[in-house]
Structure 1
Amino acid sequence: MTSLPRRAIDAMTAVTYSDVIVGTHNLDTVVAEHNSRPRKTLGWETPAERLSILLATTRQ
């Protein structure tokens, strides 16, 4: 199975290799998609949700 970031980059067929390396917008898009995907190991929460909970509990 192909990893999510690799599938996202493969889906950008019109983008050249140098654009993927240099373009931070592309990387930000891949990271956002990856962090908004629910995970079984996190009780079907997203990594972003789990991080928010963790940060909220450490501030108390």
Structure 2
Amino acid sequence: VYFLNVGDSRAILVSSEGRVLLATKDHKPSDQVERQRIQDAGGTVLIQRVNGSLAVSRAL
């Protein structure tokens, strides 16, 4: 099974036993790792938004 995602849409995998596994990670500027990636690329994070306007940090 392959999962690809960008933005804040999640893909969730459920095992045959009913266990729920989070298969993807949200790309939001409130996430510390994502915030650092944005800043390293020359962007800013203001009020949990990229450059003060975008609520997600990656999109197609």
* Structure 2 length-normalised TM: 0.24
* Structure of higher CA gyration radius: 1
Q: Which structure has the higher relative contact order (CA within 8 Å, separation 6+)?
A: 2
More helix by share: 1
